[in-house]
Amino acid sequence: MNTKLQVATAPKTGTFQVRINPEIKECVEAIYAKSGISLTDAFNLFLQQTINVEGLPFLVTSDSREFLHQQAALVLMSELKAGEDSVQNEGGWISEEDILKEFAP
28 touches 68 (CB < 8 A): no
Q: Reduce the secondary structure of 68-80 to three states and give it as a string.
A: HHHHHHHHHHHHH
pTM: 0.55
- pLDDT of 67 reads 79
Coil, helix or strand at residue 82:
helix
3-state helix, strand, coil in the chain (%, to 5): 60, 0, 40
Residues of the chain with pLDDT under 50: none
